[in-house]
Amino acid sequence: MKKTALKKFKEIECKACSAPCKSGKAGLCPSCASKKAAEKRAQAKKDKKRRDRTEGNITLDRLIQACHAAIKRIYPLQCHGHQSPIPLERGVKTTQACHFVNSTFYAHKFNPKNILPGCSYCNHTDQSHTWRLGDWIDFYWGEGTAANLRETKQETLKLNQLQRNALFNMFRDETLDRVQTYDFYEKIIKGENTVYHRSTKTPRNPKTDNT
């Protein structure tokens, strides 16, 4: 008769809480093992945060914020999703940055051609706003631009940390207009070195707490 190989577990006591359990997870019971894994993940996150702070690295969230703020500055502040454009109020939650090609497609997540100011109603409720955005995109950037964004939405775009930092610095430059913003955007994602490839501020000192 064929023997089935069974993994042999020893009955042990958890190294951390002494609960009787089966060996196999570095001497820990399942609950202590998952607790330890969670702690490890939390520590890694903390380490990254500290490293980013030291190096002046920009997080994805801050990059998104800077990008959306730039969109509301370089385009006329009106809803581009409404049938007849309505003016938008600056600095309120309902004034948003609307993506034409969905921002889950990374290719155009930060593309200034793909994002226009709009109201929260259009952004979240009104599906037909999308083709109106497309019309505006062609109006600002030329016939066929919206179609091109759609066709290329699945292309991969990988941004390294230096590019993220450069995009952030660039989006924060209030002297740039719409076209200049796009030109620099294109240079940065193509990997060209730009004046924005340096920290515009001195990185903050690392925190010295030893937790």
Q: How far is the CB of 122 from Zn ion (least distance, A)?
A: 3
- Closer to Zn ion by CB, 43 or 83: give it: 83
Q: Is 14 near Zn ion (CB under 5 A)?
A: yes
Chosen residue from 70, 115, 119, 149 binding Zn ion by CB under 5 A: 119
Q: Cα dihedral angle (45, 47, 53, 58), rounded to 10 degrees?
A: -40
CB of 196 to Zn ion, least distance (A): 32
Minimum CB separation from Zn ion for residue 76, in Å?
Answer: 13
Q: Which stretch binds Zn ion (CB under 5 A): 48-56, 76-84, 138-146, 186-194?
A: 76-84
- Select from 163, 185, 180, 167 the least CA-distant residue to 74: 180
Q: Candidates 5-13, 16-24, 57-65, 185-193 — which segment interacts with Zn ion by CB under 5 A?
A: 16-24
**Residues in contact with Zn ion, shown as a per-residue x/- string from 121 to 150 under the rule CB under 5 A:** -x----------------------------
CA separation for the pair 62, 59 (Å, rounded): 5
Q: Applying CB under 5 A, which part among 4-12, 82-90, 135-143, 156-164 lies near Zn ion?
A: 82-90
Q: Pick from 29, 98, 170, 176 the residue near Zn ion by CB under 5 A.
A: 29
Tell me the C-alpha distance between 135 and 143, whole Å: 9
Tally of CA atoms within 13 A in the half-sphere of 66 that contains its CB: 19
Query: Token pair for residue 171?
Result: 């989006």
Residue tagged 């702690």 (tokens): 39
Site size toward Zn ion, by CB under 5 A: 11
Residue ranges of alpha helices (H) inside the chain are: 30-55, 60-74, 120-124, 129-141, 145-151, 161-171, 178-189
